[in-house]
Amino acid sequence: MSTLITNLGSLVTNTGTPLTDAAVVIDGDRIAWVGAAAAAPPADDRFDAEGRAMIPGFVDSHAHLVFAGDRTAEFNARMSGQSYTAGGIRTTVAATRAATDAELEANLTRFIGEALRQGTTTIECKSGYGLTTEDEARALRIAAAHTPETTYLGAHVVAPEFKDDPAAYVDLVTGEMLDACAPHARWVDVFCEQGAFDGDQARAILTAGAKRGLIPRVHANQLHHGPGVQLAVELGAASADHCTHLTDADVDALAGGDTVATLLPGAEFSTRAKYPDARRLLDAGVTVALSTDCNPGSSFTSSMAFCIAVAVREMGMTPDEAVYAATAGGARALRRTDVGLVAPGARADLLLLDAPSAVHLAYRPGVPLTAAVWQGGVRKV
Ligand code: NIG
Ligand code: FE
């Protein structure tokens, strides 16, 4: 079954300059053809885009979606002047442990659906609100049923039971908990931050995960400067996430390595913090991704469009750079070559915007612009 999507006013392919008066042919779950509408081959079915803009589906490479409860009160307190600390995570840990599998899965599918309706066709999902062997493994088991991009984050914070013996918690995270989680995860992550895990602990956790075949990614330099970014580059992590507090040496390390800098403006927005400097990273030649960090504490948004708008307004990105970072950049951060682009052979993950160009994602902040979404060739929205 093939479908011709034609009369696209503009088409962002991420393989060159955007096309105008373009068309795309989907065949099964893949893109079969891309080019000028006038030259499009015939297909079984036809969709008239009426001059609207199309981009690849968003690739949200950083989200924490297996949790229960919310932290409205904490957000409210922050907006009344309190500051954000890593410790708030424990509130969600208590609620998540108390939830049934069915409740956690219902929450997860609700957020994945919410993201899909806003054009996100690939989403990464971390554990990290269980912090026991059983609770981390179940979070990943539940996540793995809904996305291939699952990340073991047993090292989100030290579990409350181990607060007086963090070394014993690191032993658990690198031992029995890793054994139980590795079969359900593709990635290993650690929150390298004051109040969470230091550089030596992060190194031990990422190295242990890598030995089990999990590829590292790191929550790095979010709230303070720390060793996370340089550790990520040194270990060949796919991504260093947050990158808010960077020295020139950190920027140089990213520029000289293969690690994507994943920026999460929802977190700075919702913690009323200084934004990362995307311009500085881009000018240094670093690959930048934009993601939501969707979680109940520091960034309770599933909207990639919102992240694009903030990145353009506050972080020095052009609209084109931000759209690229939210699609191709996310794909790079997940080491995926089949998503984040519109090209023959790529997955048919497509977002049709209710707008004549992708610039409108930043130009019309807060306005829902989803006209249609295809995921794996299937029209979902
Ligand atoms: O990416 N930084 C660590 N983890 C999340 C916050 C999680 C939470 O506050 O519950 C983040 O911002
Ligand atoms: Fe995060």
Give per-residue pLDDT as tens, 270-292.
999 999 999 999 999 999 999 99
CB 1 within 8 A of CB 29: no
- 77-129, pLDDT tens digit by residue? 999 999 998 889 999 999 999 999 999 999 999 999 999 999 999 999 999 99
pLDDT of residue 14: 98
> For ligand 1, atom 12, which residue shows the shortest CA distance?
298
Of 210, 256, 264, nearest in space to 233 by CA: 256
pLDDT of residue 161: 98
Q: How far is CA 70 from CA 66, 118, 257, 287, in A?
A: 12, 21, 37, 33
Q: Of the residues 222, 295, 307, which should be mutated to test ligand 1's pocket, given the most ligand atoms within 8 Å of the CB?
A: 295
**How far is Cα of residue 208 from the mean position of the Cα atoms in its chain?**
23
- 20-31, pLDDT tens digit by residue? 999 999 999 999
pLDDT of residue 226: 98
CB 65 within 8 A of CB 143: yes
Is the CB of 265 within 6 Å of ligand 1?
no
Ligand 1, residue 84: give the atom nearest the CA: 9
Out of 3.20.20.140, 3.40.50.300, 3.40.50.10140, 1.10.3470.10, the CATH code matching 58-333 is 3.20.20.140
Reported as a pLDDT band with limits 50, 70 and 90, residue 162 is very high
Please state whether beta strands 239-242 and 19-27 pair in parallel, antiparallel, or not at all (unpaired): unpaired
CATH of domain 2-57+342-379: 2.30.40.10
Is the CB of 219 within 6 Å of ligand 1?
yes
> For ligand 1, atom 6, which residue shows the shortest CA distance?
298
Q: How far is CA 95 from CA 23, 129, 130, 180, 239, in A?
A: 48, 9, 9, 22, 29
Write out the DSSP string of 104-161.
Answer: HHHHHHHHHHHHHHTTEEEE-EE--S--SHHHHHHHHHHHHTT-S-EEEEEESS--GG
Reported as a pLDDT band with limits 50, 70 and 90, residue 374 is very high
- 323-349, pLDDT tens digit by residue? 999 999 999 999 999 999 999 999 999
- 200-245, pLDDT tens digit by residue? 999 999 999 999 999 999 999 999 999 999 999 999 999 999 999 9
Residue 187 carries which side chain, given as an amino acid letter?
Answer: W
Helix (H, G, I), strand (E, B) or coil at 221: coil
pLDDT of residue 145: 98
Report the 10 Å Cβ neighbour count for 183.
12
Ligand 1, residue 223: give the atom nearest the CA: 2
Tokens of 94: 């208590």
Ligand 1, residue 222: give the atom nearest the CA: 2
- 129-159, pLDDT tens digit by residue? 999 999 999 999 999 999 999 999 999 999 9
Mean pLDDT of the chain: 98
213 CB burial (10 A radius; 0-12, 13-18, 19+): exposed
Q: What is the mean pLDDT of residues 295-299?
A: 98
Ligand nearest the Cα of residue 300 is 1
- 28-81, pLDDT tens digit by residue? 999 999 999 999 999 999 999 999 999 999 999 999 999 999 999 999 999 999
Q: pTM of the full predicted structure?
A: 0.98
Helices 101-117 and 133-144: crossing angle in degrees, nearest 10, is 40
User: Residue ranges of the domains in the chain?
Assistant: 2-57+342-379, 58-333
